[in-house]
Amino acid sequence: MVEKTMSEFYDYMCLHYSHKTALVFGQKRYTFSDLREKGERLANSLLAAGFGKGDRIAILMPNCPEVMFLDYACTKLGLVCTPLAAYLQVQDVLYILRDTGAETIFYHVLFRDMVAKVQQDLGQIQRLVCSSDDPSEVPAGSLHLQRLMAEGAFKPVASSVRPEDLYVIIYSGGTTGKPKGIVHNHRTWAATVVITHMEMGTGRNEVFLAATPLTHGARVYIIPVLLQGGSVVIHQGFNPAKFLEDVQKEKVTSTFVVPTMIQALLSHPDLKKYDTRSLRNVIYGAAPISPERLKQAVRTFGPVFTQSYGQTEVPVAISILSREDHVLDGSPLHEARFASCGRPSLLMDVKLLDESGREVAVGEPGEIVVRSPNTMLFYWNQPDLTGETLRDGWLHTGDIARKDEYGYLYMVDRKKDMIVSGGFNVYPKELEDVLLEHPSVAAAAVIGVPDDKWGEAVKAVVVLRADRAGSEEELIRWCKERKGSMMAPKSVEFVESIPSTPLGKPDKKKLREKYWAGRERQVA
């Protein structure tokens, strides 16, 4: 589809918009010319240091401009990057490094203690490159990233990178089992850039606020913005007050958020003090959001929201719920779509299949399978899992959804989270949405627990609103009235908070632990 490399995308933006602002980080501003110069100097320094095409490296950095300078250099040299999420523990980092065989870690000085532990336990690490504005903070034995950018030759690097060459190995942050290394080459990632631009309606002179990780959540949205001559305002992390302040100050037009960030913004006591009228596209995804919370967000910010449903295996846009779909006009049909994840994107072929591999009828649940030009190549070092997931050119997502007569998809649940109770399939997300409609419920997670009669019994874990009361009997009755007795929970546990993963999803593995401890199987 797109016979381009990521390096060619950088060449295009830096040629066409050289004097425009590309990156904003606090008081610092970098033009596209700055991006090119720092990227080229770094690439030449790394080339002189012996780095070459196909070398696998790991990146452990918070959000900062250096992430973009490094990406520029890597695309020129053909380095294969593995971003390490900042929330990972040492054991997770060790597993990923062993799996990829990476011999170099590019890291921010904030992570020097973790890197020291990793280096001590892992003999394969040959080189360390530290990013720090203060040279005195760079640990002995590490190269200084800023020095490499300052001292490298400012001249074009003769790149031999081709679209079929590997670009990135991204490890999933799942809550079960070991992380999976998801492999993309320049061709599939370039297709992701094009699809993102098409489906998100990226405009000229966009101002994009990146408060989710540049190495993960935000990375797919940045290049399309820069290719249109826009600028990216980088936040090291998410702070609701700082977020709102910069939306007003920088006249931010678009951003990407996860549902927990939307909730934090809605709950901010000074929200109404800020002028957020410049926002025209708030993209959200990565975790489910209840329809009621989404409606509250639209009432607050206006119809500026775009839902993006995708996976790292098929980034960004398996389906899109557009801004035009986020309409509160009293129509039951339109209001129902707040529970949808939209319709398949133009360049996606999407089917819903039953357990036998047959397409299901409209309104029936089936697994989402997708065929697209930005589908991953394979799982790193996991041929069996690759074979299970990629079959006959179709990627099996593990997500269960229904489709209505208009082509809108309604997520039911993750296939692996499905509860089999008394021979019936129960999808937790459906119950969670029902529970969140109750005026006393602030948060809810539904899990299966072992039961002698049912095999698995449906259990709801609930956080009540501070000013409300609720009982187990009342909530079970609420669910029975709306979903029937087979779907309703058999028990309700009230808690102060529900543990969450770093991506803001309920940590159901942790919730299930105390019920399934000592059992070989986690389902009945």
Domain residue ranges of the chain, discontinuous segments joined by +? 30-185, 348-415, 418-516
Stretch 214-239: mean pLDDT: 93
Q: What amino acid is encoded at 34 in this protein?
A: D
Lowest mean pLDDT among 403-407, 423-427, 510-514: 423-427
Average confidence (pLDDT) over 268-296: 90
pLDDT band at 487 (very low <50, low <70, confident <90, very high): confident
What residues does 144 pair with on adjacent strands? 130
Three-state secondary structure call for residue 177: coil
Tokens of 188: 């599939």
CATH of domain 418-516: 3.30.300.30
CATH 3.40.50.12780 fits 30-185, yes or no: yes
The two most distant CA atoms of the chain are separated, in Å, by 72
Query: Going by C-beta distance under 8 Å and a sequence separation of 6 or more, which residues neighbour residue 311?
Result: 318, 397, 399
Position 177 confidence tier, pLDDT thresholds 50, 70, 90: low
> For all residues of the chain together, what is the average pLDDT?
91
8 A C-beta contact, residue 223 and residue 6: yes
Q: What is the pLDDT of residue 502?
A: 67
Exposure string over 45-61, b if 16+ CB within 10 A, otherwise e: bbbeeebeeebbbbbbb
Residue 323 · residue 306 · CB < 8 Å: yes
Give me the mean pLDDT over the 134-147 stretch.
Answer: 97
Residue-by-residue DSSP string for 311-331: ETTEEEEEEEE-GGG---SS-
Range scoring the smallest mean pLDDT among 342-356, 424-438, 510-524: 510-524
Q: Which residue has the tokens 């001590």?
A: 120
Tell me if residue 226 falls in helix, strand or coil.
helix
CA distance 218 to 200: 13
Answer left, alpha or beta for residue 422, where phi above 0 means left and psi between -120 and 50 means alpha: left
Considering the entire predicted model, what is its pTM?
Answer: 0.83
Instruction: With cut-offs at 50, 70 and 90, classify the pLDDT of residue 523.
Output: very low
Q: Detail the DSSP E strand segments found in 392-440.
A: 394-403, 409-414, 419-421, 424-426
Q: Look up residue 487 and give its two tokens.
A: 């779907």
Least confident of 86-95, 303-312, 402-411: 86-95
State the DSSP H helix or E strand holding residue 343, giving kind and residue range, or none if neither.
strand 343-344
First to last CA, the chain: 45
Instruction: Using the predicted structure, report yes or no on whether residue 513 has a pLDDT greater than 90.
Output: no
CATH topology classification for 348-415: Luciferase; domain 3 (2.30.38)
